[in-house]
Amino acid sequence: MSRDLYVRLIDRLNKFEYEYPVVESYINMIQYIYPEEHALIAADFPETAKTAPELAKILGKDEKEMADMLESMANTGSLFVKKAEDGTPMYELLPFMPGYFDMAVIHSDDERAMNIYRLHEEVRKDHAESRLKMMEDNKGTEKSPMPILRTLTINEALPQDTKIFSFEELKSLVDEETSFAATKCLCRRMASVKGNPCQANVPEYSCLAFGDVAEYSIERGYGKKITKEECLETIDACAKSGAVHNSNNYTEKLQLLCNCCSCCCGALAVAREVGNGIVINSTNFAVNYDAESCTACGDCVEICPVDAMEMVGDAVSIKENFCMGCGNCVNTCEMNSLTMKRIGSDKPTLEGRKKVGFGF
């Protein structure tokens, strides 16, 4: 396989908002998971959704062969498919993550999944270093990289003394949707194949998709169709287990919702290492601590998914640049010593950003 082809494919994937560094670890991973015949198409894929006849013309391919190839790529997760008003499939390249990487892991056998895990560990290290440098070099400018996910506070932990906007309240966002799908978690899949199965008490199908993304997941066999009620039940079960609700960070409308556990999640692992704003944006809320009512039981320290809390003597110390505002500590505190307080009102937006995939 030609290394140049895969460098070209990475350049194309980096036209999405969330970029990865063109380093050997990433090149090796892309080479491993992308079949060469798919890479040849993907590297030259246009930036907007097209029909099979349109793509055949643009890429200089036979129309029937193009249609067959597009369906093969959609079935393996490298293309997103959305139906036009007349029902015609519209094909669009999916970003690496969330996107093709998720599909590749979920649909791999154990040996292939283990190989992907080993490759991804190298990418994760290089990626965190690259994102930190990008943030530092572009601090305060529109070129500052946008994290791929944003945390949503557990509904029960949201403060009662301030207005809560609809984009901050998960159950309000779910109420606006009509299509729902549940999928298996790629992080738990990788943890399982490396011999460290998930310790969190979460449903097997814990990752959720909405709208067009849900329909795509169901049609292509990545997820199963569920009702709104089943979706809310999954969210509640995950919240009770101490999982973190992490959604797409580029539009207030729900597309994806990961219910992330601290034992398996790669994004939380990065957040534990380097803090907020690299892969995950924190919420508009932070923890308020009342030392007088605290009994120093340590439950909040134990449940914090990013080690943002620690006991110092008989008091809790909070690392503000690590706290995600997820609300797990508030939910677990029986003395009500912890509450959430508003620290901002940032709203997810695509304004001034590049395409992010999944129809946006």
User: 302 is written with which tokens?
Assistant: 């134990």
User: 67 is written with which tokens?
Assistant: 């249609």
User: 205 is written with which tokens?
Assistant: 């199908």
Read off the pLDDT band of 22 (50, 70, 90). confident
Residue with tokens 């449903």: 203
Residue with tokens 């194309």: 12
Read off the pLDDT band of 91 (50, 70, 90). very high
Segment 328-350 mean pLDDT? 94
Higher pLDDT, 19 or 139: 19
Helices (H), the chain: 3-13, 24-33, 36-42, 52-59, 63-75, 101-106, 110-137, 170-175, 186-193, 211-219, 228-241, 266-274, 299-303, 328-332
User: 345 is written with which tokens?
Assistant: 């009102």
3-135 — its CATH code? 1.10.10.10
pTM of the predicted structure, to 2 decimals: 0.91
Q: What is the mean pLDDT of the chain?
A: 91
User: Is the pLDDT at 145 greater than 80, yes or no?
Assistant: no
User: Is the pLDDT at 12 greater than 90, yes or no?
Assistant: yes
Residue 251 contacts residue 312 (beta carbons within 8 Å): no
Segment 304-314 mean pLDDT? 95
Q: Who's near 151: CB < 8 A, 6+ residues apart?
A: 244, 245, 246, 247, 280, 281, 282, 283, 324, 325, 326
Higher pLDDT, 2 or 226: 226
Q: Which of 96, 94, 99, 152 is nearest to 124 (CA)?
A: 96
Distance CA 169, CA 192 (A): 32
36-67 pLDDT per residue, tens: 999 999 999 999 999 999 999 999 999 999 99
Distance CA 318, CA 321 (A): 9
User: Is the pLDDT at 1 greater than 80, yes or no?
Assistant: no
Question: What pLDDT does 140 receive?
Answer: 53
Segment 146-158 mean pLDDT? 92
User: Is the pLDDT at 290 greater than 70, yes or no?
Assistant: yes
Read off the pLDDT band of 270 (50, 70, 90). confident
Segment 111-137 mean pLDDT? 80
167-202 pLDDT per residue, tens: 999 999 999 999 999 999 999 999 999 899 999 999
Q: Which of 336, 313, 259, 322 is nearest to 286 (CA)?
A: 322
Please state the domain extents for the chain.
3-135, 146-342
User: Is the pLDDT at 142 greater than 60, yes or no?
Assistant: no
